[in-house]
Chain A
Amino acid sequence: MTNNTPINSLGIAKAPKDTRVVVAMSGGVDSSVAAALLHEEGYDVVGVTLQLYDYGAAVAKSKTCCAGQDIYDARRVAEERGFPHYVLNYESKFRESVVDDFADSYMRGETPIPCVQCNQSVKFRDLLKVAHDLGADCMATGHYIQRKETGDKGYPELHRAVDPFKDQSYFLFATTQEQLDFLRFPLGGWTKDITRGHADRLGLLNADKPDSQDICFVPGGDYASVVKKIRPEAENPGDIVDQNGTVLGRHKGIIHYTIGQRRGIGIGGGVSENNAPFFVIGVDAARNEVIVGPKEALARDVIFVKNCNWLMPELTEGINIDLKFRSMMKPVKATLKTGADNTAQILLADPQYGIAPGQAAVAYLGERVIGGGWITGTDNTASAAA
Chain B
Amino acid sequence: MLNTIYLDYNATAPMRPDVQDLMTPLLGQPLNASSVHAYGREGKRLIDTARRQVAALTGADANNVIFNSGATEGGNTVLKHFSAQKVAVSAMDHPSVRQARQDAILLPVTPGGEIDLNTAEALIKDHKPALVSCQAVNSETGIIQPIAKLSQIARANGAYFHSDAVQAAGRIPLNMMELGLDFLTLSAHKIGGPQGVGALVLGLCGETPTLLDGGGQEKKARAGTENVAGIAGFGLAAELALADLSAATLDARQALRDDMEAQIQAIIPNVNIYGRDQDARRVYNTSFFSVPGASSQTLLMAFDLEGICVSNGSACSSGTVQPSATLKAMGASDEDAMAALRVSIGWNTTQADIDAFLEALKKITARL
Contacts and interface: CB of A to CB of B under 8 A. Distances in A.
Interface in B273-299: 294-295, 297-298
B316 interface: yes
A135 B302 contact: yes
Interface string A76-107: 00000000101111000000000000000000
B3 interface: no
B302 A133 contact: yes
A117 to B, nearest CB: 21
B318 A134 contact: no
Given A130-B298, A133-B302, A71 B367 contact: no
A84 B304 contact: yes
B305 interface: yes
Nearest to B334: A92
Contacts of B363: 135
Nearest to A85: B319
A86 B319 CA distance: 8
Contacts of A133: 294-295, 298, 302, 364, 367-368
A385 interface: no
Nearest to B294: A133
Given A132-B367, A134-B305, A135-B367, A66 B316 contact: yes
A134 B298 contact: yes
A46 B316 CA distance: 21
Given A133-B302, A133-B368, A135-B302, A71 B318 contact: yes
Nearest to B367: A135
A38 to B, nearest CB: 16
Nearest to B299: A133
Nearest to B366: A135
B263 interface: no
A213 to B, nearest CB: 25
Contacts of A87: 318-320
Interface in B283-340: 294-295, 297-298, 301-302, 304-305, 316-322
A135 to B, nearest CB: 6
A51 B367 contact: no
B362 to A, nearest CB: 13
A67 B302 CA distance: 22
A65 interface: yes
Contacts of A89: 297, 316, 320-322
A134 B297 contact: no
Contacts of B319: 67, 86-87
B298 A65 contact: no
B318 A67 contact: yes
A89 B304 CA distance: 17
Interface string A350-374: 0000000000000000000000000
A105 to B, nearest CB: 27
Contacts of B298: 130, 133-134
B301 A65 contact: no
Given A133-B367, A135-B367, A88 B305 contact: no
A66 B318 contact: yes
Contacts of A67: 318-320
A66 B368 CA distance: 28
Contacts of A66: 316-318, 320
Contacts, number: 54
B342 to A, nearest CB: 17
Nearest to A51: B320
B320 A88 contact: yes
A108 to B, nearest CB: 29
Contacts of B320: 51, 66-67, 87-89
A28 B305 CA distance: 24
A135 B305 CA distance: 10
A78 B28 CA distance: 34
A71 B316 CA distance: 14
Interface in A310-327: none
A65 B305 contact: no
A65 B320 CA distance: 11
A51 B318 CA distance: 10
A326 to B, nearest CB: 35
Contacts of A134: 298, 301-302, 305
Contacts of B297: 86, 88-89, 130
A18 to B, nearest CB: 14
A130 B367 CA distance: 11
B99 to A, nearest CB: 12
Q: Which of A46, A51, A133, A135 has the most CB of B within 10 A?
A: A133
A138 to B, nearest CB: 15
A293 B302 CA distance: 58
A66 B319 CA distance: 10
A65 B99 CA distance: 15
Nearest to B320: A89
Interface in A55-86: 65-67, 71, 84, 86
A255 to B, nearest CB: 31
Nearest to B368: A133
A88 B304 CA distance: 14
B322 A46 contact: no
Nearest to A48: B301
Contacts of A48: 301
B317 A46 contact: no
A68 to B, nearest CB: 10
A94 to B, nearest CB: 13
Nearest to B297: A88
A71 B317 CA distance: 13
Given A132-B367, A133-B368, A135-B367, A46 B318 contact: no
A46 B301 contact: yes
A90 to B, nearest CB: 9
Interface in B47-68: none
Contacts of A132: 367
A92 to B, nearest CB: 9
B34 to A, nearest CB: 35
Contact of A65 (B302, B317, B322, B368): B317
Interface in B346-368: 363-364, 367-368
Interface in A25-72: 46, 48, 51, 65-67, 71
Interchain residue pairs A-B with the least CB separation, the first 8:
A89-B320, A66-B318, A67-B318, A133-B298, A86-B301, A87-B320, A130-B298, A87-B319
10 contacts: A46-B301, A65-B316, A66-B316, A67-B318, A67-B320, A86-B297, A87-B318, A89-B316, A89-B320, A89-B322
Given A89-B297, A132-B367, A134-B302, 15 more contacts: A48-B301, A51-B318, A51-B320, A66-B318, A84-B304, A84-B305, A86-B304, A87-B318, A87-B319, A88-B297, A89-B320, A130-B298, A133-B294, A133-B298, A133-B368
